[in-house]
A and B are shown apart, each in its own frame.
Chain A
Amino acid sequence: MAAPCRRMASRSLLQFLSCFSRTAVGNVGFRQFSSTSVCRATLMTQSVTERARSPWTLMAAVCLQRFPVISADCTPIEQQFRQMMRQMELEKSLLSDHELRLLEDAERMSRKQADDYDSDQDGDLGDQEIVLAQDLEDSWEQKLKSFQPTPRVTADADEDLTSLERCLADSLFLLAEQQVGGGKLWLLPQTRWQDGETLRQTAERALPAAGLKATFLGNAPCGVYKYKLPKAARTESTVGTKVFFFKAVLSDSGPPAAPDAPLLWAKKSELQRYLKPAYMMTVDRFILSL
């Protein structure tokens, strides 16, 4: 983290100075003075005044991810390779105790069926004569058949976009339909930043309280989306909005409460259907579904 910080610091300083030369609104003198000041007190007041003057409204959004519950199906090459490896390993292995027992039992049976069979020749085997290895195998198979696991794929659950049980083999991401500017848009749940709180706390507030327990992964944002308002809506104080995204992982969710806004759980491939193209491009970078 130290190296990128240093790089970022030098780059942002250049950007800082270049941006001020561009947006000279008559406060150039003040800003240049503040950029050279060393005292912390002046820096603090500078940050407050900077915040007050910055034309961007801050918002924080949460990218809530539900990890896959079951393992994904194998691709054809993976299936082929798995089969081949199993065969190769079987060929290179030694006979196990169970297999040896199977061979011995088969041999004994064939000797018993022969005409000149002397039962005294066989040693004292006791239980091995009563319960053959084959019988054991059969009993194990029976036990396995009597156990019914839950089916891996349920087509009905997959259709329902609001349920958490859909597409258990992929990671799902939470989308909410929110009022932005003119109309309603589907996006990652976001809310406006308020004074006195960190952006992570804003993101925690942005989480729709629908009985979802999330673990936030760190204090740093994972992505940013900034857009400028249409020229008609621009005022002196607001030019546009910067939305900072925070990653969170869904821990086991309790009973789902009725959400205020319509929610849906979408896979990465389905996100394109709901999100705007520019937004999708930014979000695509940090959403990993490996």
Chain B
Amino acid sequence: MSVALSRCLCRVLSRQTAPSSFLLGEHHHAVQSPWFAPVRTLKTSAPLRAEPKKKKKVDPRREQTLKERMRKKLKKLEKVAPEFIPIEDLITPAKYLDETRKRSAPRLSFEESEGRALLLKEWCRYKQEQHMAEVQAVELSLEAQREALEELKLESEELYQAALKPDPLLFPFTHDGPVYTPPKSKYEAPDGKYNNITKVYTQ
């Protein structure tokens, strides 16, 4: 018991003396060269013991001025009008201005040119008749509708009002127009692969 106690005491004393000697040694070193202070004595080295400098006011102001300058530059850049996107269809590609592409102009006989002029006039007359017939047919059908609505009004006001209401479900109305040959039943169209080379412009 006493031996254990003495051993503990010895250990404690040795522990106490070791760090003290260590510290003394360290202190000794610190006094010698402040630039090479080891990590453990950073808190106690000379320059860091003073209060830190107050940079709060100057820095935010500098940052703000920088930001404002950047914003002004951006605004100046944005004010420039954006470039127009070129319309590909209206620009004649250079390869079509080549001389070798021109056809030899055929010389038409007098009868041929006369025939063409007369055919154009006949066509004009034909189209005019077609158009007048169309317009007349549409006017007739409108008249028929007007009369129908009149008769309906004579019959009952309620039905007349219901007839005047627009139909919201009618539009959008689509119908595929006539084709040259009627559709084939059970026709499997071949797969079409294509490379899309259209140029996409961004403004």
Binding site for B on A (CB under 8 A): 1, 4-5, 8, 11-12, 15-16, 19, 43, 47, 50-51, 54, 56, 58, 67-72, 77, 80-81, 84, 88, 91, 93-95, 100, 149-152, 168-169, 198-200, 215-224, 226, 242, 244-245, 249, 282, 285-286, 288, 290
Contacts and interface: CB of A to CB of B under 8 A. Distances in A.
A276 B103 CA distance: 62
Nearest to A75: B126
Interface of B: 96, 100-103, 105-106, 116, 119, 122-123, 126, 134, 137-138, 140-141, 143-159, 162-167, 170, 173, 175, 178-184
Quick one: which of B100, B101, B166, B182 has the most chain A CB within 10 A? B182
A199 B160 CA distance: 9
B144 A215 contact: no
Contacts of A93: 103
A286 B175 CA distance: 20
A150 B186 CA distance: 12
A95 B149 contact: no
A215 B164 contact: no
Nearest to B175: A67
B123 A81 contact: yes
B152 A244 contact: yes
A224 B182 contact: no
Given A215-B173, A223-B144, A50 B156 contact: yes
B154 A16 contact: yes
Given A70-B178, A221-B145, A100 B100 contact: yes
Nearest to A218: B167
A70 B176 CA distance: 11
Nearest to A15: B154
A229 to B, nearest CB: 17
Nearest to A103: B100
A80 B158 CA distance: 55
A224 B158 contact: no
B184 to A, nearest CB: 5
A223 B119 contact: no
Contacts of A219: 162-167
Contact of A8 (B146, B162, B170): B146
A149 B164 contact: no
